[in-house]
Amino acid sequence: MVDSASPWPVPAPVSVSVSASADVEAARGSAGTDPASADLAVSVVGRLFRLAPQLTELMDHGAREYGMGFARGRVLWALQASGPVVMRALSQQLGISPRTVTGLIDALEADGWVTRAPHPEDRRATIVSITPASEAALATMRAGYEGLAHDLLAGIDPDDLAACQSVLGIIQARLDDVVAARMAAEPPPPRPRP
């Protein structure tokens, strides 16, 4: 998987629409997402769920500025981190199917973000690289992301930030296993009949 610490493009702080997240909050009602909940674990997870739509909108805004979506941006960040790579390795690195990677690379190549070249030793393989235009765009997006991070976290005690980073790392490391275990233990409820 791609290192989740890699920044996703955020060119500049933007005004985030709260109507959609307000609708979600209204639908949740008292489903345990109250930040004032006496159950601290539920409160923390509730805050994470409320942040997710806002952060997603920021990511989408950054992607739209460059005419790409989140998935295409992930490919570019991965290619920047790895350097030129065969598509099979890129698929494994991103944790997505080879067919999906091929579609993403087709679109990125058509827009001038990546190039393909034959592998020098394996005629069945193709090496994918980012273009200079991608390098420049990623540098701009990284600068916007870093600026947003500094603006957002300005004035927060460094010890608090370190503790937050540590806890988020633990949550991230546990998330897949905990969700898989819960889904295995609790099958989804039956769907309503049409």
Q: What are the residues whose beta carbons fall under 8 Å from the beta carbon of 20, sequence distance 6 or more?
A: 53
- Per-residue pLDDT, averaged over 117-146, amounts to 90
Structure tokens at 87: 């598509």
Beta-bridge partner residues of 85? 128
Output the average pLDDT for the chain.
Answer: 81
pLDDT digits (tens, 9 = 90+) for 13-67: 334 444 444 444 444 444 445 556 678 888 888 899 999 888 878 777 777 777 7
Interacting residues of 86 by C-beta distance below 8 A, sequence separation 6+: 119, 122, 125, 126, 127, 128
Per the CB < 8 A criterion, the answer to whether 119 and 101 are in contact is no
Q: What is the rounded CA–CA span in Å between residue 185 and residue 31? A: 20
Q: What angle do CA 46, 44, 181 make, to 5 degrees?
A: 80
Average pLDDT over residues 128-149: 90
Predicted pLDDT of residue 14: 39
The predicted structure's pLDDT at residue 175? 92
CB 20 within 8 A of CB 150: no
Mean pLDDT of 121-139: 92
Which secondary-structure segment (H or E) carries 152? helix 132-153
Reported as a single tens digit per residue, the pLDDT across 66-101 is 777 778 888 999 999 999 999 999 999 999 999 999
Contact yes or no for 8/59 (Cβ under 8 A): yes
Higher pLDDT, 128 or 13: 128
What ranges make up the beta strands (E) of the chain? 85-86, 114-118, 126-130
Show me where the domains of the chain are located: 39-147
Q: Is the pLDDT of residue 148 over 70?
A: yes
Q: Which tops the pLDDT comparison, 165 or 2?
A: 165
Percent of the chain having pLDDT more than 70?
80
Q: Tell me, what's the pLDDT at 30?
A: 42
* Lowest mean pLDDT, pick from 32-36, 124-128, 184-188, 190-194: 32-36
User: Of how many residues is the chain composed?
Assistant: 194
CB atoms within 10 A of CB 175: 10
- Choose among 153, 29, 135, 120: nearest CA to 76: 135
**Can you give the pLDDT at residue 71?**
83
Q: 39-147 belongs to which CATH class?
A: mainly alpha
Could you give the strand order of the β-sheet that contains 85-86, starting from the edge strand earlier in sequence?
A: 85-86, 126-130, 114-118
